[in-house]
Amino acid sequence: MKFIIENLSKNFEDKNVLNNISFSFESGKIYGLLGRNGAGKTTLFNCVNKDIKSDSGEFYIENNGEKRLTVPNDLSYVLSTPTVPEFLTGREFLKFFIEINEKHIPNLLNVDEYFEMVNIEFSDRDKLLKDYSHGMKNKMQMIVNIIVQPNVLLLDEPLTSLDVVVAEEMKELLKKIKSDKVIIFSTHIMELALDLCDEIVILSHGTLDVISKSDLGNSEFKDKIISALKEENYA
């Protein structure tokens, strides 16, 4: 399966943020989307998810040579700041989410199996979400986006503010689920991208470029990434 972006452009007044991007992502891989703050990573995700209207561009899923336009169920988007209904318990939230999405959930598990996937303790499952830590709220946001098993999972810097243990748990989860989906992981932290991702994609000057990880052991590899990012012009 492939996720394909064709001719995506987005301008804000006189600023060209995304410049006629065409790119193909393959399932089974985690793509590290690297870019400096303000490069347009969140704008790219918002256009793909159709939270904002792009000036041009189409998005496709391709399977066995057959290509179709994406539909809402193809995509899930995990924001950098978790947003959960804090008046519900963790268990109530998962049950509610499953009930309203049941027709679109393949291989449905029971609620506790989903909690176990993200290592939320049994004693925390019936607590109000307002009493969850930032990391636990992030886990809840992640799991509801994973439950529906989207073809494309967009992750907008979800690990940046997590403690070391939670971040490692989330990285292991992403590696486990990547086999049948495209995961695009936005970050401005190079070391995190190198540790987690199979491919490195640079967003610079409104376009996407791949920097091959085949020479990961080469001392010049990080220099290539830094040079590409330094070329970004914020004038």
Q: What percentage of the chain reaches a pLDDT higher than 70?
A: 89
Would you say residue 128 lies in a domain?
Answer: yes
Q: Running DSSP on this structure, what letter comes out for residue 122? A: G
DSSP 3-state assignment of 123?
helix
pLDDT at 115 (0 to 100): 95
Say what the pTM is.
Answer: 0.88
Query: Could you list the residue range(s) of the whole structural domain that residue 52 is in?
Result: 2-230
Would you say residue 198 lies in a domain?
Answer: yes
Residue 81: how many other CB atoms lie within 10 Å: 12
Q: Running DSSP on this structure, what letter comes out for residue 91? A: H
Which residues, other chains included, contact 221 with Cβ-Cβ below 8 Å and sequence gap of 6+?
A: 211, 213, 215
pLDDT digit string, tens, across residues 149-196: 999 999 998 776 677 888 888 888 899 999 999 999 998 777 888 888
**Contact call for residues 132 and 90 (beta carbons, < 8 A):** yes
pLDDT digit string, tens, across residues 74-89: 999 988 788 899 999 9
Would you say residue 235 lies in a domain?
Answer: no
* CA dist., res. 151 & res. 9, Å (int): 23
Would you say residue 117 lies in a domain?
Answer: yes
**Contact call for residues 54 and 6 (beta carbons, < 8 A):** no
Per-residue confidence band for 61, with pLDDT thresholds at 50, 70 and 90:
very high
**Least-confidence region, from 71-80, 105-114, 221-230:** 221-230
Would you say residue 118 lies in a domain?
Answer: yes
Overall average pLDDT of the 196-207 stretch:
90
Q: Which residues pair with 200 in a beta bridge?
A: 32, 211
**Contact call for residues 149 and 105 (beta carbons, < 8 A):** yes
The CATH number covering residue 172 comes to 3.40.50.300
Quick one: which of 21, 53, 46, 3 has its CA closest to 205? 21
Per-residue confidence band for 93, with pLDDT thresholds at 50, 70 and 90:
very high
Q: Which residues pair with 202 in a beta bridge?
A: 34, 209
Per-residue confidence band for 216, with pLDDT thresholds at 50, 70 and 90:
low
Would the pLDDT of 221 be above 70?
Answer: no
Would the pLDDT of 66 be above 60?
Answer: yes
* CA dist., res. 112 & res. 126, Å (int): 11
The position carrying tokens 């939670």 is 166
Would you say residue 139 lies in a domain?
Answer: yes
What's the structural domain count of the chain?
A: 1
Tabulate helix, strand, coil % of the chain (nearest 5).
Answer: 40, 30, 30
